[in-house]
Amino acid sequence: MKFNPSFAAIGVLLGAGVIIGAYQLGERGAESPAAERQASAAASPAPAKPQKDVALFPDAKPAKDAPRFSHFRVGNRNVKSICADGKYVWVGTSGGVIRYDTEQDDYVMFNNKNSGLLSNGIFHISRLDDRRMAIGTYGGGLALYDTVADKWEIINIPQGLADQFVYDVVKLDNGDVWIATWSGANLVHNGDFDNPDAWETFTVENTNGGLPNPWVYGVEKGANGDMWFATEDGLARYRNGKWKNWQHADGLGADYDVVKDAIEFKSDPGQASMHHAQQKTEQGLQNVKVAYNPNYVISMQVEKDGTVWAGTWGAGLARFKDGKWRNFTTRDGLPADHVFMLYLDPQQNLWIGTSRGLARYNRNNGTFSVKTMADGLYAENVFSMSDGQDGDLWIGSFGGVAHIEHGWGQ
């Protein structure tokens, strides 16, 4: 059955942004100009019928050996999570979940009107086991979708969930499940959600500040059984029952003087939120009137050797390796210092999604290769990424998804 969301496959694109065809599903119209695809973009009006194979530039020729890419529009929404799972690509938006069938070129939209979801805001999607997808929502708890039985189960505060806002979910090899929420972190032993005795909750209070902030945006497995947590007030590690954390004073994030000229978001979050104002005061940043908080870890990845990467709010990309910090900023080749997403692909390449493009870290020389809309991105802001079949890349931005066929040859 097809639903009718604002999800559209827009354009078969070749080369450096040359549009040579368009194909759309659902209600949205043809692709808007590139400039309108940024964070302030609004969706276009809908045509009466889908259009296919519309030759916009019939004489255009793609660049030689350029990757082939397509765009999928989701409307005036962020794409915070993507999970490529076999023939399906699961797209988590601020308007629900889209399951796209890459073989049938068909899709289904799940939202709080036609499924078991309690909230349309989606932070996280991953495969939990052979049957179920784990979906972290904005205010609707953790949704488990049984793809075989087509049934939904909602895990929420009554079951033991620390908070109904779920940002990240990680399942370990032993079956344990860790959940990142806005009121701390949960550990569900053996993934036994229905057993109250299987639940543990870790907060700022019961860890004596080892977890430095209740707002936990990410959880990742590290080396030797370590667990790492990205919070609004630094990075935390849980090892053998003990907690430790790191903040800007320890080396996390670049100093303001290093990044101040590159910060593009000039509005001060501290002026709009007492919560953020308090954080700035605690760090002595009350005179900084732009979007900069080096303790605010938005994204995180941990490599097999234990190296931790942390994306910050305006303070660049931080690396913690062998007990030492190294920060990377626009001065080192990053496209921007607000790092929204970090992703390790199957070849262990590190991808960095920023407010001004997608970068890949070159390990051999410590530089960055940058991709922008000219290379196929839907928009310059990048919030999510996943590897599909045949090396394809799926990249989420505000308003849509870019599908890079066979990647960029890396």
Q: Please give the pLDDT value at position 378.
A: 96
* Residue 305 clears pLDDT 90, i.e. is over it: yes
Instruction: State both tokens at 400.
Output: 């849509």
Q: Please give the pLDDT value at position 390.
A: 83
Domain ranges for the chain, please list them. 78-392
Question: What amino acid is encoded at 117 in this protein?
Answer: L
- pTM comes to 0.86
Selected residue with higher pLDDT from 390 and 24: 390
Least confident of 174-183, 261-270, 298-307: 261-270
Where are any strands of DSSP class E within 252-408?
A: 293-302, 308-313, 317-321, 324-328, 339-344, 350-354, 357-362, 367-371, 384-387, 393-404
Q: Please give the pLDDT value at position 410.
A: 58
Mean pLDDT value across residues 223-241: 96
Selected residue with higher pLDDT from 325 and 28: 325
* Residue 205 clears pLDDT 60, i.e. is over it: yes
* Residue 257 clears pLDDT 70, i.e. is over it: yes
> 3-class SS at 176?
coil
Mean pLDDT value across residues 138-152: 97
Please tell me what DSSP assigns to residue 320: E
* Residue 221 clears pLDDT 90, i.e. is over it: yes
Contact 315, 298 (CB under 8 A): no
Instruction: State both tokens at 35.
Output: 């400039």
The single residue listed with the structure tokens 């590159």 is 262
Q: Please give the pLDDT value at position 65.
A: 56
Mean pLDDT value across residues 304-309: 96
Distance of alpha carbon 183 from its chain centroid, rounded?
A: 20
pLDDT in tens, 370-408: 999 999 999 999 999 999 988 899 999 999 999 999 888
Task: Please tell me the distance from the alpha carbon of residue 261 to that of residue 30, in angstroms, as a whole number.
Answer: 37
- Output the CATH code of domain 78-392: 2.130.10.10
The per-residue pLDDT of the chain, averaged, comes to 85
Question: pLDDT confidence of 359, banded at 50, 70, 90?
Answer: very high
Q: Which residue, 390, 303, 400, 389, is CA-closest to 342?
A: 303
Selected residue with higher pLDDT from 300 and 28: 300
pLDDT in tens, 39-88: 333 333 332 222 222 222 233 334 445 668 899 999 999 999 999 999 99
Contact 154, 164 (CB under 8 A): no
Mean pLDDT value across residues 115-140: 97
Contact 301, 277 (CB under 8 A): no
pLDDT in tens, 334-356: 999 999 999 999 999 999 999 99
- State which H helix or E strand residue 278 sits in: helix 274-282
* Residue 4 clears pLDDT 70, i.e. is over it: no
Q: Which residue, 53, 65, 54, 70, is CA-closest to 17?
A: 70
Please tell me what DSSP assigns to residue 63: P
